[in-house]
Chains A and B, each alone.
Chain A
Amino acid sequence: MEKWQDPTESQKMEHIRQTFQNHEMPVESFSDSIMKRIGDEGMEKRASRKGGNDFLKKSLVAAAAAAVLGAGIIGSGFISPVMAETLKQIPVVGSIFKGIDDKGLNAAEEKGLSTAPNLSVTHDGVTLKVTDAYYDGSRLAFAIEREGIDKDKMMAEMFIEPIEFDPEVKEQQYAKVTMNQSEKGLLGSAEVKLPNGKNLESQMSSFGDVEGKKNAILYDYRNLNNVEALGNEFELSITVPVTQIAEPFEIKVPVKKVTEGIIKLDLNQTKEAEEFSYRITKLELTPATSRLQLREEGKAPTVKEKDGYTTSEMFYEIVDELGNAFSSSGSFNLPAIVYPMVDKDFSPFPQTPKTITVKPFTYSIDESHKALRDEEGIQVKHYYPELEQTIQVEQE
C-alpha cells in the first residue's frame, strides 16, 4: 500500500480503517434470515465448473464405509472424485442416464447397454418408477423418477450417528442413518437384495439428486463384491424408504449383465521402494467404470511439503498410453495407514487402453484433515515415480 505523506493523513486513514472495522450491525447476525431465503430459493442449477461436486447435490457414502473408517470423514472430502462430475447444461429429455454427465452411464446409454425397466410402485399418492438400470458385474446404477409430488429435491436429508466403539462387539458395526422426516416424499438410502436373499455389497455406494432434472434420483454402487456367482441375468429387489410414508417402496428390477467391452485381468505384479511395496492383483475395465485392486505392505512413504502438514495415505492415479488420467478417492484420516487390501474405482477410459500406468501419490494433510492446496486452490499431490508400474492391457 502507498505511503501516506504526512502523519495527519496516515492517522486519518488509520481512523477510517478502525471505524470501518468496528462498525456494528443492527442485529447479531443475518445468517438465519439468509439461510431461510436460501432454503426457499435454492442454488442455481447451472453447472459451469469442471471437477466440482455438481453432479450430485448430495452424496452419501454407504454406512459400511462409515463403520470401517469412522463417521467423521463423511463430510470431508470422502465423496469420490469419480462421482463429482458436472452435468451437461442442456435440459434432460427422456433417459436420466443420458442427461447425467457421468461418462460411463452416458456411454452405457448410448451403446444401448443400459435398460429401461419402467417399473413402478405407488403408496400414499407417491409413485416411484425405476427408469434406467445398468449392471456390468462391477458397477450397478439405477435411476428413479417420482410422480405425485413435484419438487427439485428428491433426496432426504440424512443424519448419520457416529458409532461408539465397543471392544466386546466383534462383528462389523454400521452407523445408524436416519432421515429428516419434516418434508414428504423424499427418498433415503436403498436396500438392494440379490436373488439369494443377501444384500448387495459394494466398496462405494452413493445416491443423490440429479441436477437439471426434477423428481429424479440416482443410486450408484461400485466395486461390487458378492455378485460373481449370480450369472448374467437375475432380479434385484430394491427397497426405498420415503419420508412420511410408512410403507417402504419395494420394486423388483430384472438386470442383464453387460458383457461387451469388459476386461478383467488377474495380475500379480509388485513394485517396491524403500519400505513400501504394493502388489496389483486385479484390474477391471468396463464401459462404466474402472477398478483396481491391490495389496499394500510395509510403511507408507512420507514427504514434508510444509510445516504443520503430514503425509496422507496412498492414493492411486491410473493413466493410459494417451494420457487419460483418473485418480482414486481415499480418506484424509491420520495417521496414514497401509491397507492390506485396496479396492478403488475410477472413471472409465473412453477407449480400451493398450497400457495402464499406475502412479501412487499422496496429499499433505494438516491436523484438521484438510489437504494442502496451492495458490490456485488445487490440492497438492506428491508423486512417487520409483513406485510407478505399467499394466499391459491386451486388446480384444
Chain B
Amino acid sequence: MERRSPGVQVNQTIIKEAIDQVLAGNREAYRTIIQTYERKIYTYCYYILRSHEEAEDAVQDIFVKVYQELRRYEKRVSFRAWLYKVAYHHCLDQVRKRKRRNRLLSLYKEQQPKAYYNPNDEEPLQKLFMDDLTAEESNLLILKVVEQYSFEEMGQIMDCNSATLRKKFERLRKKLVRQRMNEGGSPHGEMARSN
C-alpha cells in the first residue's frame, strides 16, 4: 500500500502504466519514472554519501540499474520502495568502496570536517546530517521520518529484520532528542547492514 509524504503526491496509476509501457518496449516512458522520483533519490543519495558529485553519479547509476532490472520488479511492493531498495544497496556499496579507498582521506576529513560538503549548504539540518549522523542513521531518518515507511517496509528495503530496525531507530531518536543540532559529533559515515 502506498502512503505519500505530504506535498509529494505521485499518481501511482501513471507510474504503473509507465512501467508497463517500458516493459512493452516503449523506452521513452521511462523518462516519466525518472522525472517523478529523481529529486527524492538524489536527495537521499546526497544525505547518505554527503557529496554532490557522488550523489549526481549515484542517482544516474541507480536509474540505469533500475531500468536494466525492471523485469524483476514485482508489483507486490510499491515501486517507490523498490527504488529505495536499489538506492540503498547502491549507496551501501559506494560507502564501502570509499571506506576501503579512503581510509587516509577520512583521517584528513577529521581535521577538515567540511571537506565533504558544500559550505553554502551549511545550516543546522545540513550539519546534523553531515556531521552528527552516520550514513546509516541518515538512511533510517529519511526512510522513517521523511518517507514514513513502516519498519516492515524498511526491512524489505534494507533486507534486514524489522525488530532490529525498530531498536536502532529508537536509539537514534534518543540521540536526536539529547542532541542540540549545532553541536559536533563524529564525522565518520558508515552504513551497516544488519540481519
Contacts and interface: CB of A to CB of B under 8 A. Distances in A.
Interface in B16-40: 16-17, 20-21, 23-28, 30-31, 34-35, 38-39
Nearest to A45: B71
A49 B63 contact: no
B76 to A, nearest CB: 6
Interface stretch (B87-95, B101-109, B140-148, B187-195): B140-148
Interface string A1-41: 10001100100110111011101111001110111011101
A375 interface: yes
B148 A57 contact: no
B122 interface: no
Contact of A37 (B64, B71, B148): B64
A29 B37 CA distance: 10
A261 interface: no
B35 A44 contact: no
Contacts of B76: 376-377
A376 B8 CA distance: 22
Contacts of B135: none
A44 B145 contact: no
A310 interface: no
B72 A52 contact: no
A79 B24 contact: yes
Interface string A349-378: 000000000000000001010100101111
Given A49-B72, A377-B75, A25 B176 contact: no
Nearest to B141: A16
Nearest to A58: B25
Contacts of A54: 23, 71
A41 B173 CA distance: 42
B67 to A, nearest CB: 5
B25 A208 contact: yes
Interface residues of B, number: 54
A195 interface: no
A17 B71 contact: no
A293 B173 CA distance: 66
Interface string B30-53: 110011001100110011000010
B125 A47 contact: no
A215 interface: no
Interface in A268-286: none
A146 B173 CA distance: 62
B75 A48 contact: no
A33 B68 CA distance: 15
A232 interface: no
A77 interface: yes
Contacts of B60: 30, 33-34, 37
Nearest to A16: B145
Contacts of B130: none
A382 B21 CA distance: 24
Given A29-B34, A33-B60, A39-B27, A377 B7 contact: no
B59 to A, nearest CB: 6
A26 B56 contact: yes
A53 interface: yes
Contacts of A43: 67-68, 70-71
A56 B24 CA distance: 7
B35 A38 contact: no
Nearest to A372: B13
B146 A16 contact: yes
Given A43-B70, A46-B71, A370 B38 contact: no
B119 interface: no
B64 A38 contact: yes
Contact of A19 (B8, B71, B72, B125): B125
Contacts of B30: 35, 38
A382 to B, nearest CB: 19
B25 A49 contact: no
A21 B25 contact: no
A17 B177 contact: no
A52 B16 CA distance: 13
Nearest to B69: A44
11 contacts: A9-B173, A16-B141, A24-B39, A25-B39, A30-B60, A34-B34, A43-B71, A49-B71, A52-B23, A76-B21, A377-B76
Interface of A: 1, 5-6, 9, 12-13, 15-17, 19-21, 23-26, 29-31, 33-35, 37-39, 41-44, 46-49, 52-54, 56-59, 75-77, 79, 84, 208, 366, 368, 370, 373, 375-378
Given A17-B5, A43-B70, 13 more contacts: A19-B125, A20-B43, A30-B56, A34-B34, A43-B68, A44-B68, A48-B71, A49-B72, A49-B74, A53-B24, A57-B25, A75-B26, A376-B76
